[in-house]
Amino acid sequence: MLCWSISAIKLSCHSYPSHAIPSRAMPCSLAGGKRDTDLILPINSSLSVTLHQDQLKTTTTAAASRDFTEDRLWLNGKEADVGHPRVQACLREVRRLARKRRGGGEDAAALSLSYKIHIASENNFPTAAGLASSAAGYACLVSALARLYGLEEELSEVARRGSGSACRSMFGGFVQWQRGERPDGTDSLALQVAPETHWPELRVLVLVVSGEKKPVGSTAGMQTSVETSPLLKHRAEVVVPERLAQMMQHIRDRDFEGFGQLAMRDSNQFHATCLDTFPPIFYLTDVSRHIIALAHRYNAHHGHTKVAYSFDAGPNAVIFALTDTVAEFVEVVRRSFPPATNGDQFVRGMPVGSAVLPPELVAAVLTEPVPGAVQYILHTKPGPGPQLVDDPSQHLLGPDGLPRSRA
Amino acid sequence: MLCWSISAIKLSCHSYPSHAIPSRAMPCSLAGGKRDTDLILPINSSLSVTLHQDQLKTTTTAAASRDFTEDRLWLNGKEADVGHPRVQACLREVRRLARKRRGGGEDAAALSLSYKIHIASENNFPTAAGLASSAAGYACLVSALARLYGLEEELSEVARRGSGSACRSMFGGFVQWQRGERPDGTDSLALQVAPETHWPELRVLVLVVSGEKKPVGSTAGMQTSVETSPLLKHRAEVVVPERLAQMMQHIRDRDFEGFGQLAMRDSNQFHATCLDTFPPIFYLTDVSRHIIALAHRYNAHHGHTKVAYSFDAGPNAVIFALTDTVAEFVEVVRRSFPPATNGDQFVRGMPVGSAVLPPELVAAVLTEPVPGAVQYILHTKPGPGPQLVDDPSQHLLGPDGLPRSRA
């Protein structure tokens, strides 16, 4: 039995059009060119930030053995359907590449392609709450399978077959997913715009407002949006291409004002196209709206963009800020949404210093508090792409090829 | 002293692009033609339904006297600033038309144009809660002033100077506000598409979810939208003209399926452009979203469009339905949002019959109830334009020209 564990990025966290509808898996039938649903081709290019695995991560272990009688899959400890078309697409593509690499002849030293495989995957964060769990999951899956079969090529195109945005999670730092032009999707790939070390002062605060499953899966929602929203078509064809070029420049310049303004505007526009979908899709709740208003009051008080919000397919806010703003804004959030029960675990992830709010800030920014509306804050930063897990004790599958029982 | 009272329409209730941003007062500076802010010219044409005065109304009394020493204004019993630019614009325009009509010579029998005037206006519904209070108010003001000065011409252009959508409230039934082309706005007028008697089965349910003042006035909000929303420009130039033509046809055909679908899609798109505004504007709350989801489940259960929602610049829902649907849907709303205290006043306006919900409807449509989320339901229908109040006891100003003390 060969066994590999990869602890991969969670949250390909979407500095920008990553929140754009088209940045996710998109079966495209817009006027001007139907693209294939199975291939998951986007209607425009997009950008994202990969978050650090120290805070949010998916861990996936893949194993192959002549003793396995069938392919099997466990998600967060429960057996799941390995026949899921997207899992199958990833498996098929990786095996096809492995077969191609070996030139048809069976290499005795290499893992037999006929062996069945076992896969186990776990997130350390709530799934399906708009925290890009499927992006991290499929990036991790493809990376683990690739190591298992000894592949060394760039595999973002394969990860895309699992979940569109997973292709961006194959790289660290700031990543572009190129729309591509070819009908077969072979040029719809991820490219690193800048590594995770490019902007050392950039920090990310995830304000988790709900661990519930979102009512509409992001892929199903996008399909409906493409079919019914007249505004989405305009956004994809006209607005996003301009903004994408601006955003790349802001990132290269480490221009937080430009970066933050555009991140907020584009998050809002993505959610606008969700509302223009029929029936409409709402990911933002009253709590999300409170957070948005708070960010605008905070920036207005300081006279420039100190924090920028961005929301994916769920109510949780992703806040971008520079290191010198984190402690003060976390205190603003704590005062605005006083923690209900888990006061000591309200701030998680990287350490946050303490801050005393000046009275004029309190007067200008704080309003009636909404207790318990924010469950917790996760403090993190841009991070690398999928990493191999060196420590065998962290593998999710035991020597028998079955999930280890968790203590 | 001459005194006229006009009890005018409340709620120019917006079957359709009335909810469109451009259907309201719009200082337009879109690419392709800046239009004058003072003139309140829209960036596209729009349609609305005027609601019946038996349920929602504004009453305005205007009086002129040689004994008055200054122009004065009372709103809902409190003295207000008569110097408000929009009130002044209406006064100035009406006086200019009166002067023009008299050909410069002073007619002894006519009211002297030099007399100061007193105006009192009251709504029987909460102001500034997205129920088109300013539309009804300015339509009523202009109608009362016109009667006072003996004007007989069409005055929607003058009402537009008070509040853009007020021009539509100058007519009953289904009304179009033509965008117009001329820089001076003289062709930006209201036209009746069909009278209030055209579609006798059409009913309107206003679900009042909040009497609070909305956080952003609709005019200020629209100004920001025009300046910052890329999607609004596309909506105004491309989407609305097509939809307007379709909507007029649906109204002419009394096609509820087409009418309802388009009303919902267009309401959603208006709110999408609010979200695309920067900073974003949110009129819909979690309760609004509950109502929207409820309407979609109800229609899905019946297999066609039985109810259609539309939201203006506030969280209150306007529901369109035909007479045969009202009782059942009101019961669905009552079960979904059980009244907190005013159970006996939960349904107001026109009588609503009782209905028993079939078990399969309950199972398919109802979810966890949200007690108290809807304050009350107002049942009404399309109604006429401004009406003269015949009963002198209903005048708001007493013989001394001051507001009557209310018992």
Tens-digit pLDDT profile for residues B203-245: 999 998 865 555 555 566 777 888 899 999 999 889 989 999 9
% of chain A at pLDDT higher than 90: 39
CA distance A43 to B199: 43
Q: Is the pLDDT of residue B25 over 50?
A: no
In chain B, which residues touch A (CB < 8 A)? Answer: 228, 230-231, 234-235, 238-239, 264-265, 268-269, 271-273, 275-280, 282, 285-286, 289, 292, 296
> How far apart, in whole angstroms, are the C-alpha atoms of residue A184 and residue A221?
24
* Residue A394 pLDDT: 80
Nearest chain B residue (CA) to A280: B268
> Which residues on B lie below 8 Å from A286 (Cβ)?
285-286
Question: Concatenated DSSP letters for B129-180?
Answer: SSS-HHHHHHHHHHHHHHHHTT--S--HHHHHHH-GGGGGGGSSSEEEE---
Nearest to A224 by CA among A267, A178, A273, A181: A273
Q: Which of B228, B272, B292 sits opposite A231 (nearest CB)?
A: B272
Alpha carbons B123 and B59: distance in angstroms, whole number: 6
Chain A: residue nearest B285 by CA?
Answer: A286
pLDDT tens-digit series, residues A306-360: 999 999 888 889 999 999 999 999 999 999 999 977 567 899 999 999 999 999 9
Q: Hey, which of A213-217, A300-304, B55-59 has the most confident mean pLDDT?
A: A300-304
**The pLDDT of residue B334 is above 90:** yes
Give the pLDDT score at A27: 28
Q: Give dist(CA A319, CA A267) in Å, integer.
A: 11
B378 to chain A, minimum CA–CA distance in Å?
A: 25
CA distance B27 to B44: 12
Q: Select the residue of A273, A279, A286 nearest B272 (Cβ to Cβ).
A: A273
pLDDT grade for A257, boundaries at 50, 70 and 90? very high
pLDDT, residue B86, reads: 87
Q: How far A280 CA sits from the closest chain B CA (Å)?
A: 7
Q: What is the pLDDT of residue B137?
A: 81
Residue A188's pLDDT is what? 83
- What's the average model confidence in pLDDT over A90-97? 89
Chain A residues near residue B282 by CB distance under 8 angstroms: 289, 292
Instruction: List C-alpha distances in Å: A92 to A41, A95, A326, B259.
Output: 18, 5, 44, 48
List helix spans (H) across B196-255: 218-228, 230-234, 240-253
Nearest beta carbon to residue B268 from set A264, A280, A292: A280
The answer to ipTM > 0.90 is no
Please, what is the average pLDDT of chain B? Answer: 81
Q: What is the pLDDT of residue B29?
A: 28
Question: In which band, very low, low, confident or very high, does the pLDDT at A2 lie, cut at 50, 70 and 90?
Answer: low
Specify the pLDDT at position A105: 57
Quick one: which H or E segment has residue B97?
Answer: helix B85-101
Which pLDDT score, from 0 to 100, does residue A14 have?
28
In the predicted model, what is the mean pLDDT of residues A139-144? 85
Least confident of A121-130, A302-311, B79-88: A121-130
Structural domains present in chain A:
2-195+389-394 (3.30.230.10), 231-380 (3.30.70.890)
Identify the residue with better confidence: B290 or A128: B290
- CB contact under 8 Å between B269 and A282, yes or no, is no
Candidate from A80-94, B15-29, B75-89 with smallest mean pLDDT: B15-29
CA B98 to chain CA centroid, Å, is 27
Residue A128 near residue A74, CB atoms below 8 Å = no
Q: Which residues pair with B7 in a beta bridge?
A: B59, B387
Dist. CA A251–CA B259, nearest whole Å: 47
pLDDT value for B20: 26
Q: How many angstroms separate the CA atoms of A378 and A38, rounded?
A: 34
